[in-house]
Amino acid sequence: MYVTGKNVAKEVLKSNIKIYKALILNDFNDKNIIFDLQKRNIEIKRLSKFELSKVDDSNNQGIILDIENFKYSDIDELLVNEKPFIVILDHLEDPHNFGAIIRTCETAGVDGIIITKDRSVEVNGTVVKTSAGAVTNMKICSVTNLNNTIEYLKKKGLWIIGTDMENSTNYNNLDYNMPLALVIGSEGFGMSRLVKESCDFIINIPMKGKINSLNASVAAGIVIYKIIEKRL
């Protein structure tokens, strides 16, 4: 898997992720990154701007790392804390939304993220870059059946909180001081019917404008930090 950009490279170099090689621009001059690559005995290959763009034509900032594929966590690895806070993504498809949510979860101290294996974005280079490398510090579990996973979490003592504008309560009015999993629906369809029916609570963010919905990653960020605020 290729990941690009200086900030991502710095985060990957601080992690235990295996790096196969580094492709860098001929005049790339970030001495700290080069030093860290050399310290880990990573193969460095210098390329022209044209050659680098043939590998990745995005804004790669002159560096591309070839790294091992992301290693997903087992669900029980997300439940090590006494009062876990997990985020469930119900068939999210946009890698930029996924990366932004990972970044928010990491900065907020969320214990882990659950995604689905089908009809869902996976951890790829775009996700890693959008997360600004935060994915290297986040436990992510990929499951086959989300409804069965939710039932398992309930048996482990977690309360399931969904997000939807209909038949829901203001997100300010719920006590979040409990083990919980927050469900964020897909960009186009929100939560699936069965997932919604499995939720213990459904909350909404009050809307005062003419548009009645938010981008999935923005909505996730607002609710995640509300939960953190209420759990303090």
Is the Cβ–Cβ distance between 169 and 135 less than 8 Å? Answer: no
Q: Is 119 left (phi over 0), alpha (psi -120 to 50) or beta?
A: left
How confident is the model over 32-82, as pLDDT tens digits? 999 999 999 999 999 999 999 999 888 899 999 999 999 999 999 999 999
Q: For residues 230 and 232, what is the distance between their CA atoms, to the nearest angstrom?
A: 6
β-strand pairing of 19-25 with 112-116: unpaired
Is the Cβ–Cβ distance between 23 and 147 less than 8 Å? Answer: no
How confident is the model over 74-106, as pLDDT tens digits? 999 999 999 999 999 999 999 999 999 999 999
In 3D space, the residue among 212, 14, 193, 223 whose CA is nearest the CA of residue 101 turns out to be 223
High-pLDDT (> 70) share of the chain, %: 99
Q: For residues 186 and 216, what is the distance between their CA atoms, to the nearest angstrom?
A: 7
Q: What is the mean pLDDT of residues 147-161?
A: 97
The three-point CA angle 74-113-151 to 5° equals 70
DSSP 8-state assignment for residue 187 = T
DSSP alpha helix (H) spans, 109-215: 125-130, 146-155, 193-198
What does the pLDDT read at residue 198? Answer: 95
Q: For residues 86 and 110, what is the distance between their CA atoms, to the nearest angstrom?
A: 6
Q: What is the mean pLDDT of residues 180-200?
A: 92
